[in-house]
Amino acid sequence: MSIQLFRIDDRLIHGQVLMGWGRQLRSQRYLVVDDELAESDWEQELYTLTVEDGLEVVFATVDQARAHLTEWMDEGVRSVLLTRDPTHMARLAEGGLMKGSEVNVGGLHHRPGRHQVRPYIHLDADDRDALQHLADEGVTVSGRDLPDAVRVPLDQMLG
């Protein structure tokens, strides 16, 4: 599979993703799936400033990503797919499109209404529902901030 990592992280592209995950996985491309960001050229430019030359970054809406997901999974480009929240990832997975895949919850930080379940994971009711929806779509969901960290199963996150 060319998508080596499906990750939910509200910071999207940042050092932990690029250095911690990307280097270990030897990723060649970052697929950022976010409806608002896909429409904002200046924000896209900010995100790509942190990416090394030679690495590709693709910004897509959920609908665009759904149209290309099978292609991205089958082609030979080692990729990391990122969404900023569980809802975007759950929409991407609808209809079994990601069945058999694993989603990493890597960083959902504090904001009003969210409750801490791990130092790097804070969830509200909508987040919990979206993560459960992913599991219902046949996706394995676990939490882990860095590649060498212990995986936290979904049932422990939803506790």
Q: How many domains does the chain have?
A: 1
Domain that residue 89 falls in: 3-158
What's the pLDDT score for residue 1?
61
What's the pLDDT score for residue 53?
87
> Which residues have CB under 8 Å from 34's CB, separation 6+?
12, 59, 61, 83, 84, 88
What's the pLDDT score for residue 159?
85
What's the pLDDT score for residue 97?
96
What's the pLDDT score for residue 40?
97
Q: Whose structure tokens read 């759950």?
A: 90
- Nearest 10 degrees: Cα torsion 117, 136, 105, 44: -130
For the chain (159 residues), the mean pLDDT of every run of 10, in chain order, is: 93 91 93 97 94 93 98 94 98 97 96 94 97 98 95 94
**How many CB atoms sit inside 10 A of residue 14's CB?**
15
Instruction: List the CATH number of the domain containing 48.
Output: 3.40.35.10
